Amino acid sequence: MLIRPPSISTIPANWPPNTGTNLIGSWKTTEYYRNQGLNIHFSSINTHQTTVGKIQSHQKPFNGSNIRIFSGSAHPTLAEKISKYLEVPLSERRITTFANGEIYLQLKDSVRGKDTFIVQPTVKTNGGKSVNDHLMEVALMADALKRASAKTVTAILPHYGYARGDKKAAKREPIAAAVTANILQATGVDRTISMDLHAKQIEGMFSAKSPLENISAIPLTAGYIANKNFETDNLVIVSPDAGGLKNAQQFQETLETLLKDQKKKISVDLAIVNKKRVAINQVKTMDLIGDVQGKTAVIVDDLIDTAGTTIGAAQELKKQGAKQVILLATHGIFSGKAIVSLKNADFIDEVVVTDTIPLSQETQKLKKLSVIPTAPLFGEAIKSLKSNNGLPNINDF
């Protein structure tokens, strides 16, 4: 669904390369994205880093016989894609809701002595379930797995709910991201994996005995942009606020590496939209720092929620002379009237998100929307953990 394929070039006959090559994922990962219409070569991503892991020839082939993958009710489609990628059947479970709103959960498969994985973004879905419902499902499932003598319990939260509550903005406020971390750890989760946290300090809210791993989607999103055919030879990566500047710089560096590898003579600049908020989801003023005149502007953010501030930033870029405007975010929440607003924003040429969050039918009808699959990245994360290698090849920047 919804993937607008860029041009596809031929993968070299000698691929995959010999050991020692910097890789994110495997040949299977590269082949997966090629089949999806995305020409993302994982050999060329992260090469600007000195700490990137290397795939070694002595690594044993992945054996999924000792793992069990369970899905909550939030995003079973993503869980199914991950299980298919790993060639491990999705384990059965039963989740129902009583008349009083309480959740009932039962695991149908034995997990004694197994490494178990729960796939569940903590988001609001069209079925009427809230962030809280899905978080409670994770907690109940983790508890059930521990009581059933699972060897390990890993919670894969593609989107970490309450991530924006990473600090106190005013007196007598809770730190919701920390409360979420406490719930996961208290119910028996040994490790949590998420993608592009809204605030990286959330990693510090988890103990060393139950750590949080943050995977970056930049290899996928930058790879997608690198393979597009633009109307201009000048790109500008735009941070929607000062807090996202580091992420935008990392995206810029990765994109420059990919374009250089493809021998494309396209310059990549950086700009910032400085915004002043007057309330949650409300912005009073926006100022542009940088030059977008006659360029293709790519706004890079971790999520699109109501899309109000993002659309405002795109409108400002268009006023400042940007020829094309692309919105790019890892998580497409699309709350409220976001889709209607994006549809009516004719100054936005494309909206790009990953599939960490299930998309409504209304969202899928948005013609300017492109969706990048993430199942191989999460699949490779499971492989790395299973082989006791951590996440050296796909970890965050």
Instruction: Please list the active-site residues.
Output: 275
Exposure class string for 71-108: b at 16+ Cβ within 10 A, else e = bbbbbeebbbbbbebbebebbebebeeeeeeebebebe
Residues paired with 274 in a beta bridge: 287
- Which 3 state secondary structure label does DSSP give 249? helix
User: Which amino acid type is present at position 20?
Assistant: G
Alpha carbons within 13 angstroms on the beta-carbon side of residue 144 total 22
In angstroms, rounded to a whole number, what is the distance separating the alpha carbons of residues 80 and 97? 22
The answer to whether the CB of 157 falls within 8 A of the CB of 192 is yes
CB 149 within 8 A of CB 111: yes
**Taking every pair of C-alpha atoms in the chain, what is the biggest distance, in angstroms?**
61
Q: Nearest to residue 64, comparing CAs of 20, 18, 117? A: 117
Q: What are φ and ψ of residue 270, in 5° steps? A: -135, 140
b/e per residue, 9-39, with b = 16+ CB within 10 A? Answer: eeeeeeebeeeeebbbbbeebbebbbebebb
Alpha-carbon gap, residue 78 to 81, rounded angstroms:
5
3-state helix, strand, coil split of the chain in percent (to 5) is 30, 25, 45
Query: CB neighbours of 325 closer than 8 A, spacing ≥ 6?
Result: 296, 297, 299, 314, 317, 318, 347, 348, 349
C-alpha span between 255 and 223 (Å, rounded): 7
Buried b (16+ CB within 10 A) or exposed e, 318-344: bebebbbbbbbbbbbbbeeebbebbbe
- Per the structure block, which two tokens stand in for 90? 């999705």
